[in-house]
Every structure is written in C-alpha cells, then in structure tokens.
Chain A
Amino acid sequence: MAETIAVRGGRVIDPASGHDAVADVLLQDGRIAALGPDAGQGASNVIDASGLVVSPGFVDIHCHLREPGFEHKETIESGTLAAARGGFTTVCAMPNTEPAIDSAATVRYVLQAAAAAGNARVLPIGAVSKARKGEQLAELAELAEAGAIAFSDDGDPVWDAHLMRRALEYARMLGLPVIDHCEDKSLVAGGVMHEGWVSARLGLRGAPAAGEESMVARDIALAQATGGHVHLAHLSAAGSIELLRAARDRGLPVTAEVTPHHLALTDAAVLGDPQDEAGLAYDSNAKVNPPLRGETDREACVQALADGVIDCVATDHAPHATEDKLCEFDHAAFGISGLETALALCLSLVHDGRITLPQLIERLTVAPVRALGFALHVEGLGMLAIGAPADVTLFDPDAEWVVDPLQFASKGRNTPLAGRTLRGRVVATVYAGRVVHDGR
C-alpha cells in the first residue's frame, strides 16, 4: 500500500493549473492530497526537493516495450524501469510485438505484466490491422474494451489508404485516435538515413523527407473526410509541419508528437567526426526511423513544439540488442533507446531559450494526455490536481552527467549519445505514491 509522502520545498510546476512556485506536494493513498506552502509539514516521510523542479510524472505516448516476443531487446519490466529512471510514470506501449497487440488477450497480458512490474502505468496501444499486416482491421472495439487507448500499426504506416479511412471511421465511433507512422515505403525505397548531404557523403541510400510529408498529407485529407482523430507519430520533416500547421488552422482533428532526438540531433550524428583516427562513424546507433534529418527540419520541429503546433514530446523509445546494431549500417536495426535521455535532450531547448521550462513540462505531461484524450481513461493524469494520481517527477534541470549506456535500466544500450555530457537529470520518480526511482 502506498504510504504518505511529502515532497517538500521544490519548485512545483504544474502546467495544467499554471502553478509555478516553491511549495510542498503531499501524496496520500496513491493520490495527490494537498499542494501548497507547508502542505507537507509534519509528515514523517519527506523527500527534500529543495533546489529541484517538481512536476507531474511525465507521460510518454510512444514507446516500444518489445514484450511479448522480443524480450532480448526489452521487457515490460526493464522498459518501465527505464521509464522511471527517465521520469516517466505513464508510457504507451506500441503494438509491434510478436504476437502484435491485436487481440484483447494480448492487451490484458501487457497490462498484467505492467502491474506485476509496478514501475509505471502502461497504457497499451492496439494494432490497427490484424498482425499489423495492413490488410484487415483488428477487432478494435474488443481491444478498446480490454484497455487499448489508441490504435497504431507503428513501425509501419497504415499504407493502404482505404484501410486507413475505415480505421478512422471505426475508431471515431469508439472515441479513440489512430496513430500513424507516416512513411511512403515506395518513396523511401529502402533508405537507411535522411536523404541529404550526409547520405550523399556517406554513400548511403537516403530516405527523402517527401516520404513522410506525402503520407501526412494523405492522413490529413482522411481526417477531414472522416472526422476521425489522426495522431501523427514522430514528425521529423519541416514539410510535414507545414501541412500540420495548415490542418490545425482549419480545426481538423489532427494531433502530433516529436521525439527528443529529432529536436536535438541531425543526420550529422551518423557521420561522426571525420578527424577520428578510425574515420567516419557510420554510427548505427543514430539509425532511426524516421531518420534524423537536416538542420532546417530540426529547427522546424523545435519551433512547432514551442508554438504548440506539435502537441507534445514522445520518446519513440526503441531498444535493441547489441548485435542488432553492431553490424554494417545497412543491416542495423532502426531505433534509439530514448527514455533515459529524453528529459536532458529536451532541456537543451530550455537552456537555449527556445521554450520555457513550464512549456516543456506541459509538453511532457498534460499536453500528451490531452492530445490522445487520456482523461477518458485516467482522471487527473499529467497534472498535480487534488485527487489526481500521485505521479511526480523531481529533476535538477542543470545537473550535468555523462551518458553511459551500460548504466541504463533499459536493455537497449543503443544511443548515439554515449559519452556525451547532458544537462538535466531526473533525481526521483514517484508513481502512484511509491518511489520507483531514487537517484538522490
């Protein structure tokens, strides 16, 4: 049973209420019991948050926990522990598992494994199509009844436009969004990185930005035609953001996310430092889909997050085993293990003055909750309201640390940030009134 905890003396930022002041947060019976100066006075179990930021627990609407089927890459237990380390108390599990999360039984399996691990709240995302083959709708209503909170064939696009149309119509009846990984495979044509000067230099097959943009345009047209809610996963291209901006101006039911790596890195991460004695990096840990793109694209992502055109940050945490990456670039798996570096990468935008700290916290908490309509499922998620889940993240926005993948809780050590000094560290994470990460 969760005990009473007083988080005392931190800078409490709750974007949902606009609160930003030094205060205490009192957690009781897994809920927020009180918030205010001295609200924690007299409590026996105190977390001293002085000098730290206290925020609602972060919400990641896009991560790959790999279980069932790929337990050598990640398990629900290791993935949720990585979430806790990264300050995330709620994560949405993508259904590209084996079997895919395309049945009520698999949804229940994920929920049970998550409850057993107890590190974070896991909200499963059901597959749009049976076995994610893009041919026939999965049993969306049964998935929803079992606890799926959205539908996606992520890892792949819903390539068939007719199926996408029907999925949006059907999901609209259920009041749930369809999350699409926008990638026209015929245009991407086997590209392994962004098509730009780095791919030209490295002699690698490029994936043009138009491969994403053309499917974003299709999805926006279908959102308009059906009234169904499309959520655009991991946007990476400036052209996609132009289309999104226009769609939102027209009031269409389209929301979007961006990853920390697309906010902070470009395709030059694949190149590495040519002055290195071993030459160019061909860093397979920077191989991700959608690819890290050019500086113009990165800049557009940052701007769109700052001005609210992109709703929120989502990690697209994609852990892989060492052997999946320690090979020729063309053979390497796509993905970055991102939960444990997400906050620090995002904070670079705050440190650079591109976004305020409360804005960033909003994009990590209540904004994703609103984007996908989670208030339907868990009341008070992403905020520090009285009675809301006692999910709290404490972090030091200025503390510097060096990324050592071997220290990750995730089984996936695949990050292009190894050895990099990042600024901003999660100090403690409380999920449902229990301390699940304590780095004090």
Chain B
Amino acid sequence: MDNNILDIKDLKVNYITDEGTVQAVNGLNISLKKGESLGLVGETGAGKTTTALSVLRLIPNPPGKIENGEIYFEGKNLLEASEEEMRHIRGNKISMIFQDPMTSLNPVMTVGEQIAEGIEIHQGLDKQKSMEKAKEMLELVGIPKERSVDFPHQFSGGMKQRVVIAIALSCNPLLLIADEPTTALDVTIQAQVLDLMNDLKEKFDTSMILITHDLGIVAETCDKVAVMYAGEIIEFATLEQLFTEPKHPYTKGLFGSIPNLEEDVDRLKPIRGLMPDPTNLPKGCTFHPRCPEAKETCKKREPVSIDTGNSHMVKCLLYEEVSQSEGAK
C-alpha cells in the first residue's frame, strides 16, 4: 500500500443527462506502484477516459459527477483536495496525453508557448527560461527547436502528438495518463510515438496508465493490465498472467476476437451483442447478456472481485463459486 503511487477505491462516476443517469464508472478499484505501467483496456464507452479524467478531477461538471470513492495519490485523497491543490498536481505530478492530437492543441498559440506555459506555472521559471526549457522538450521528442514559434496547424498529426507528449512530460510527472495516445495516428507513426513514450518513461521513472483498446500496444508497453467493462474492472492481472491465462469470459472473448495469422478463417469471432445501455445496466453481472458461460445466478447476483491466486483478480461468478465450493470442503 505504501509504495502505491495511485490507489483508486470504489470510484463511481455518473453523467446526469435528460435521457437518464449514465453510470460511466461503477465501483472501480485500481492500484499502481511507482514506475509501473498499467494498461487500461476496454471497448469504447467502458469508462476508461472517465476514470482517467476523474484522477485529474477534470470530469466536465455538469453533466458529470463523481458520486463516490477515493483516489489516493501519494497518500492524499485527491477528491478531497482543494482546487488550488489540484492545480499544482495537474501537469506537474500527474499529466495526461489526450486521444486526439488534432484537437488537443490550442490553434492560436505557438507550440513553444503551449509547452512553456506548464513549465512556467510549476517550476517557477520566468518566461524566457521556460521557453528555453520548452525548446529542450521539443528536441527531446524529436522536433527541431526552431519550430517552437510555429502554430499547431503547421504540424502533422504525429508531430502534434509529440508536442502533446512534450507538454505532458515537461515537468517530469510522477504519473502519466495516456488516453489512447496512438489511436488517431497511422501505424508507422504509432510505433514511433510508443517507442518515444517508453524511452521517456524509463528516463524519468514515470508511472503510467495507458488507456487503449489495442491489446498489441498493451503487450508492448505495460506491466499490468486492467480490463474494463461497463464501468468496472472485471479482470486485473500482470501482463503475463493475462496473456497466458485470461480468466474472465469477456477477456477470453477479446483474445478470441483477434484473428490468428496461422489459421485460415473466413469470419472474425466477435463477442456477440453490444455494450449495455449505460443508463440502464443489466442486473446481476453486467456482462451476463453477452456471456457464453452465463448461468441463472449471473442474472441475479452481482459478482465481487476475487483473487484467483498471485493477485490475479477476476470479477466473475464462475470463479466465485469455485472458491466458495473449495472453501466449503
């Protein structure tokens, strides 16, 4: 517990809309050690980005509201911190790389200004020194420093994402949250950006939460993986455990849907059904309508997260029953 840099406990986030209350995150638990990388995997709408924004307390309110839970960062509950304290954490100790580099930079400010801004706020440097540091950051992410006076529209998508990374890393954060940092980029640029992030992460010994729906990226960069479904972590394990022995039927489904290069198949094997309506989640296990192994009890009882050995956590009644019957013996 003490060497955990981040501990999220029983986090609950709702979006209150006219159509109903969207339960984006339901009782989520995550912990992360210093220097570790956690992959947060799940379909679109599983609540990954909401979780990340909660850590920075940047959920747009209204309509979003953190209903419940605790987020401990360096032993301090961020949900009880003042706005002023949060400002000192954002961009300084925790920073975030956003999904779409095309829209995450301010079109009317030069990239140099945008990088220098965070440095000026958090490191107490004057304008000129911040700009010098910003230029160093640009060089670090592989952009010539002369381009610091250019505006975002003069850069390509991959370069914009590098600028976003430079902003995120400019104050050597303890925790970096990368929200699908490569989704908007094409494959060759993806690899470059991932390599860059990995290098910088090692250089600064930064912990990272990598949000993605690409298991390949997870395999390349992460130590631990959390699989998210309908606002809950349904499986949490080390990279090796998860890839060699996925336990939750949903995780198995995710792996099953990856086409095998060696087999000749005509059709992909998707997980049947769609994500449940977040304003009206199914009773019992939220995955039961789509689960190939669902039983009658899955419709009624909500599973709890249990340890199946070596801290491999699964939230599924199949395993709960096994351990219960074992306990009965």
Chain B associates with chain A: no
